[in-house]
């Protein structure tokens, strides 16, 4: 059974807040925000794969530190999975010898510390029985979400997104969906900022979750009732956002995602 541990899920830092990162079992990261910095050296050395939703710093900031820490100790490179557009952005603006060394070229292009694996939208990558499928989302930079499938259940993690019909069309095809981790960065009072920055607020979250459909499961009709967890809450707005969600007419069980929370798939 696959296990997911939330290393960070905040839209900011301060105190015990950590930006977005998810650990799948011991060897796979989904995004690599500041939550990665709490891992032990042994845990860092165990990471073989990083799946990135998009190039924004709160989701990728600790990739350079991770690779810099373990390079020369590991026998194999870390594989960075992302769309070609996201890989191009990271290569041009992060691993460019100006912000950070190009670990895709160190110690050589043939044997780098960081290996790039371009993924296509909708592609499924299977690693040790765990299936990770990229999903369409809508953000201000090229972005994807991910379906993570274990032995029995699936979890959908949207990354950063705004209104996106294509996402729900893909989600509605998942027969074993148990959890949805979805962002809601701003309160309804800041809906204009949410719109221009392509994030969700409670108003648009409720509308998006309303796109979940009735699926046919095991020959009988059943309303899909996954548990919903809210991530990327901006510091200082969490209580307001969760109250506004609670005051909506949303029928799904919804709660705020917590650092160190565990999910079994």
Total domains present in the chain: 1
Residue 188: HSE in the Cβ half-sphere, 13 Å Cα cutoff: 14
Which pLDDT score, from 0 to 100, does residue 220 have? 44
Q: Which structural domain range is residue 141 located in?
A: 3-264
Q: What is the pLDDT of residues 105-143, one digit of tens each?
A: 999 999 999 999 999 999 999 999 999 999 999 999 999
How many Å apart are CA 137 and CA 160, to the nearest integer?
8
Rg (the chain; Cα; Å) = 18
Q: What is the pLDDT of residues 185-228, one digit of tens each?
A: 999 999 999 999 999 999 999 999 999 985 444 444 444 589 99
Mean pLDDT of the chain: 94
How many Å apart are CA 253 and CA 20, to the nearest integer?
22
Q: How large is the average pLDDT for residues 142-147?
A: 98
pLDDT of 87 over the 70 cut: yes
Q: At CB < 8 A and 24+ separation, what contacts does 84-92 make?
A: 84/118, 85/142, 86/52, 86/54, 86/55, 86/141, 86/142, 86/143, 87/116, 87/118, 89/55, 89/141, 89/142, 90/52, 90/55, 90/60, 90/63, 91/116
Which pLDDT score, from 0 to 100, does residue 214 have? 55
- Indicate the pTM of the whole model: 0.94
With a pLDDT cut of 90, the percent of the chain lying above it is: 92
Supply the CATH number for residue 84's domain.
3.60.15.10
């Amino acid at each position: 059974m696959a296990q997911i541990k939330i290393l960070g899920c905040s839209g900011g830092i301060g105190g015990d807040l950590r930006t977005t990162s998810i650990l799948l079992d011991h060897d796979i990261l989904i995004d690599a925000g500041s939550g990665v910095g709490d891992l032990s050296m042994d845990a860092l050395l165990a990471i073989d794969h990083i799946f990135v939703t998009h190039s924004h710093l709160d989701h990728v900031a600790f990739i350079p530190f991770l690779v810099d820490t373990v390079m020369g100790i590991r026998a194999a490179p870390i594989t960075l999975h992302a769309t070609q557009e996201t890989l191009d952005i990271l290569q041009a603006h992060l691993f460019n010898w100006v912000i950070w060394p190009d670990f895709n070229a160190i110690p050589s292009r043939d044997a780098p510390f960081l290996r790039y694996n371009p993924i296509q939208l909708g592609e499924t990558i299977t690693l040790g029985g765990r299936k990770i499928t990229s999903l369409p989302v809508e953000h201000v930079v090229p972005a994807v979400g991910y379906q993570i499938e274990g032995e029995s259940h699936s979890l959908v993690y949207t990354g950063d997104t705004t209104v996106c019909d294509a996402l729900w069309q893909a989600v509605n095809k998942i027969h074993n969906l148990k959890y949805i981790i979805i962002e809601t960065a701003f309160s309804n009072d800041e809906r204009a900022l949410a719109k221009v920055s392509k994030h969700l607020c409670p108003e648009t979250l409720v509308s998006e979750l309303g796109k979940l459909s009735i699926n046919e499961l095991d020959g009988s009709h059943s309303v899909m009732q996954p548990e919903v967890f809210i991530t990327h809450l901006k510091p200082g707005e969490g209580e307001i956002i969760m109250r506004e969600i609670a005051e909506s007419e949303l029928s799904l069980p919804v709660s705020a995602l917590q650092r160190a929370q565990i999910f079994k798939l």
